[in-house]
Amino acid sequence: MDTCHDSLAPLFHNNRAWAAGMRAADPDFFTRLVGQQNPRWLWIGCSDSRVPANQIIGLDPGEVFVHRNVANLVQPGDLNCMSMLQFAVEVLRVEHVIVCGHYDCGGVRAALEDSAHGLVDYWIWSIREMRTRHAAGLAGLAGRQLRDTLCELNIIEQVERLAKSKILREAWERDWPVQVHGLVYRLADGLIQDLGVSLDRSVTQVERVRAAEQACLARGQAQSE
């Protein structure tokens, strides 16, 4: 018995059912899909299996370019992320770069714990550093409220990192009107929220980022009362 094939059998069944359903609804769907990749949106999200980008925003394959990693981080030294960003901006010419984190993020939760978690600790070091940097604003928050607020701050920081990247700065110098947005997804109701930190070359980026951070911290404190 081919146990490997048996374990994958449900996936093959689901795949064939999905492909047949797509062809029944739109006979030309796959023909069009082969011939183009022209997404307007780049989605940088968390690897969490509960946060599927296309389904959350109701877009078909080919309509959104997706990059995912633990805790939706944009690390300048991450060649995978930076190569993806360059391809999306310079080749696909996306118009919107979205960083979408989610509440109850395992990476954020791990960053709040004192225990060791292995290799992921090297990946989430910036979240721990961010918690220290915002210690005064986070004072008094605990449990879910602390996790949710740090999750929002993490998204805002990734938006700022993108805006500072050489790839985005050069795109703006070429007058390409790409925008960067920070969104958060709530698992409990399936809804995304805008964190008010959309950036492009026309805005005063530092002021908008600091304002979004202060609004985030104020919201966390208000909800903890």
Looking at residue 107, which CATH number applies to its domain? 3.40.1050.10
> How many C-beta atoms lie closer than 10 Å to residue 50's C-beta?
11
Residue 37: its pLDDT value, please?
Answer: 77
Tell whether 17 is covered by a domain.
no
For residue 98, give the nearest of 144, 49, 56 by alpha carbon: 56
* 81: its two tokens: 């992320």
- Write down the H helix ranges in the chain: 3-25, 29-35, 53-57, 79-86, 106-112, 120-123, 125-133, 135-138, 143-164, 166-173, 205-224
Catalytic residue list = 46, 48, 50, 102, 105
Residue 3: its pLDDT value, please?
Answer: 63
Residue 1: its pLDDT value, please?
Answer: 46
Residue 125: its pLDDT value, please?
Answer: 96
Number of domains in the chain: 1
* 185: its two tokens: 């997804």
Tell whether 71 is covered by a domain.
yes
Cα gap 92→25, rounded to integer Å: 27
Tell whether 16 is covered by a domain.
no
Tell whether 84 is covered by a domain.
yes
Range of the domain at 67: 41-224
Tell whether 33 is covered by a domain.
no
Tell whether 109 is covered by a domain.
yes
For the chain (length 225 residues), average pLDDT per consecutive 10?
A: 75 94 93 84 96 92 94 96 97 97 96 92 96 95 95 98 96 95 96 95 87 95 82
Residue 213: its pLDDT value, please?
Answer: 96
Which burial class, exposed, middle or buried, applies to 201 when counting CB atoms under 10 A from its CB (0-12, 13-18, 19+)? middle
Q: Can you tell me which residue has the tokens 């094939």?
A: 5
- Of the CA atoms within 13 Å of residue 26, those in its CB half-sphere come to 9
This prediction's pTM: 0.92
Q: Could you tell me if 41 and 59 are in contact, meaning their C-beta atoms sit under 8 angstroms apart?
A: yes
DSSP secondary structure string for all residues of 176-215: ---EEEEEEEETTTTEEEE-S--B-TTS-HHHHHHHHHHH
